[in-house]
Amino acid sequence: MSEIVSQTGEINPDDTIKILVASDIHLGYNEKDTIRGDDSFIAFEEVLQHAQENDVDAILLGGDLFHVANPSTNTLNRCFRLLRTYILGDKPIRLEFLSDQNENFLDALSRTVNYEDPNMNIAIPVFSIHGNHDDSGGAGSVSSMNLLSTNGYVNYFGKWTDLNKIEVRPILLRKGETKLALYGLSYMSDARLCRLLDDAKMYMEKPDEPGFFNVMVLHQNRAERGPKNYLPESSLPQFLDLIIWGHEHDCRIEPEENALKKFYVSQPGSTVATSLSEGEAKQKCCGLLSIHKGLFRMDPIPLKSVRPFVFESIDLATVQEELALDEGNAQQKVQDFATDRIEAMIVRAKAMLNGYQRQPKLPLIRLRLGLTEIEQQFNANRFGFRYHGRVANPQDMVHFQKKPKVKVKDELGNALDKAALQEAYRNQREQRAQRAEEIVDRYFREADEASKLEVLNPRSMTELCRRMVDYQDDDAAEKIIKFYEEQALTFLRSQDSTTEESICEALVGFHAADPDMHKKVLTMLDARSNVQDSVDPLKRFRDLDDDEASVADDGAVKQAGATAASKPARGGARGGARGGRGSRGGRGASKAAGTTSASATRGRSQASISNMFSQQSANNSSIASVATRTSSRKTATQKARQMDFDSDDE
């Protein structure tokens, strides 16, 4: 600690980068609801106010700033007004930009960071990736994030359009003796990202000089939600220090150490509840990230403008004897029980009012009841009529969940141990999969010999279903079948197969002759149809169900704590500390040709690039007639530390 503390025992604010971190703002969510329509805008304004009050150097957003990729004009107008109010001004920018801006901001009008644009007057620069809700798609691949970038309000980075490989180059910033490498990876489908990782086609470029603190912001599933439907933390490179994880809505902003890779993960969560799930009922926060050389700390900032939300889940089997549900009118008894619980939850919600002037007063209430018999269920919509004016969501306060009694035993009738129960649960979850591609994948994996494919690859059939369901890609079937037809004919000619018998025998080795056939199919589809992994704004988003609980990782957070870092003194008038463009520490600091190496607190190998993270014409209707049968880093590094600030608050 001695090397980062000044002679007075305080950390020099001129060497500390302060960033306001938030994610999943979802501007415009439920905007037509007369009660809840303003919630997302009120919460976002509070986030911007915290950025001003804490005199931060920048704001970092983890995706899903908007709820849809093409928001209404009302939502865009309100967003522009908020950004114009809080991020424009004469406050000096103390971040020196070191990397090639032409590579960092490919979609920007001037291809430069906005605070170096002579036409903009930025006081707080905003850096943001896009999420699955504000992903670019459609004609021109333009979304709301592109509009913000074009207008100069947001530095939009981390967008990737080459679906065959990913090369992530960091934004390099410096303030005093602290250097920051900021990596961004906007949303792409988890299945595609996992495929790129498996094929080692994702690269993250490390800075040429040592001493950078490495932060990555991304927007993917963190909790496992099916085969290759999430991004494992362990697949990310070890040289990272901190990961800001967007997309997950439950707040876990206190940094959690990954036991394998030794980096930390901070999950800010959403600022507004977009589903009535248990994870959404947790305290909403943004965070103040302070970085000093190789150390950091994350200070959670609870949001006071969030609508009170009380969630409760009760399995009626636990109160069956108490309520005597086996006799009399079980439905009425359950309804009376729900009434008592709702009243108690409303009382709890009132206790969550904090006196903040703009905090919405009507609470969100969700009571989830696990049924053992269908006769216990009552009409939830009719039940909610009596709560109009008392809660914000009277129509869906009560949710029923049918919970059949399942006894998991082995062949001998003995109860299974914990590991066996978990395996049984995974099998049941896979059997309940409702996604079309998962059903197709399971069908071909479990198909008998007579039903297996001979020419087509089952994985290609799975990809075909995914494209037709998710992207309405009606041409995918014709392209896939035509591709396999051409490949099969080429293969048969090489085998000199002319008779029907010899053709059948030769086709047995068709896939074995080229194990990379499926990867070639994916490359062909991406090259010809230019189908991007984006979410169609006109179709229903595939998010968590209203009542799907968030998956929490175990493990304590080893975080050094003390008082917050001293606020850096505000700079002089515009043109003073901000200085002429190109001066060190000034507004227009350009990429330095050579920099003084700050003393690094973490020794790391400096590999330049770290590898991280494949007969007849057919048409759409010919899939079913296809013949059957088929055959189908790094150097160990030191552990990340969190900053222990010993300075006094101003």
**Residue predicted with more confidence, 569 or 513:** 513
285 pLDDT more than 60: yes
Burial label for 214, CB within 10 Å (0-12, 13-18, 19+), is buried
- What's the pLDDT tens digit per position in 457-466? 777 777 777 7
Domain that holds residue 382: 309-402
Counted domains in the chain: 3
Which pair of structure tokens corresponds to residue 182? 């900021």
Which whole number is the average pLDDT over 139-156? 84
628 pLDDT more than 70: no
Give residue for tokens 């997309």: 247
Q: Residue 194 belongs to what H/E stretch?
A: helix 190-198
Q: Which amino acid is at 194?
A: C
Beta strands in 109-235 (DSSP E): 126-128, 155-156, 166-168, 171-175, 178-185, 202-205, 212-219
Assigned domain for 649 exists: no
Identify the pLDDT of residue 487: 81
Which whole number is the average pLDDT over 475-500? 77
Which whole number is the average pLDDT over 116-125? 92
Assigned domain for 6 exists: no
- What's the pLDDT tens digit per position in 358-409? 999 999 999 999 998 888 999 999 999 999 999 999 999 999 988 655 555 5
Please indicate, yes or no, whether residues 48 and 121 belong to a single structural domain of this protein.
Answer: yes
Confidence of residue 426 (pLDDT cuts 50, 70, 90): low
**Residue predicted with more confidence, 427 or 53:** 53
CA dist 616 → 70, 481, 624 (Å):
43, 10, 15
Which whole number is the average pLDDT over 289-315? 96
Show Cβ contacts of residue 39 under 8 Å, excluding neighbours closer than 6 positions: 29, 30, 272, 273, 306, 307, 360
Q: How many CA atoms lie within 13 A of 456 on its CB side?
A: 26
Q: Which amino acid is at 543?
A: D
Instruction: Please state the pTM of the whole predicted model.
Output: 0.65
Please indicate, yes or no, whether residues 98 and 202 belong to a single structural domain of this protein.
Answer: yes
Assigned domain for 79 exists: yes
Show Cβ contacts of residue 138 under 8 Å, excluding neighbours closer than 6 positions: 69, 70, 537
Q: Give the rounded percent of residues in the chain with a pLDDT score beyond 70.
A: 68
Assigned domain for 340 exists: yes
Q: Which of 50, 133, 249, 511 is catalytic?
A: 133
Which pair of structure tokens corresponds to residue 567? 């606020």
Which pair of structure tokens corresponds to residue 173? 């910033």
Least confident of 150-164, 207-221, 282-296: 150-164
317 pLDDT more than 70: yes
Assigned domain for 222 exists: yes
Which pair of structure tokens corresponds to residue 460? 């290609």
- What's the pLDDT tens digit per position in 336-365? 999 999 999 999 999 999 999 999 999 999
What mean pLDDT is reported for the chain?
76
Active site residue 133: yes
Please indicate, yes or no, whether residues 270 and 340 belong to a single structural domain of this protein.
Answer: no
Which pair of structure tokens corresponds to residue 12? 């020099």
Assigned domain for 579 exists: no
Identify the pLDDT of residue 225: 79
Alpha-helical (H) ranges within 410-533 are 418-431, 436-446, 458-470, 476-495, 500-507, 510-513, 517-529
Assigned domain for 233 exists: yes
Give the domain-ending residue among 473, 490, 518: 518
**Residue predicted with more confidence, 23 or 525:** 23
Please indicate, yes or no, whether residues 443 and 513 belong to a single structural domain of this protein.
Answer: yes
Identify the pLDDT of residue 450: 66
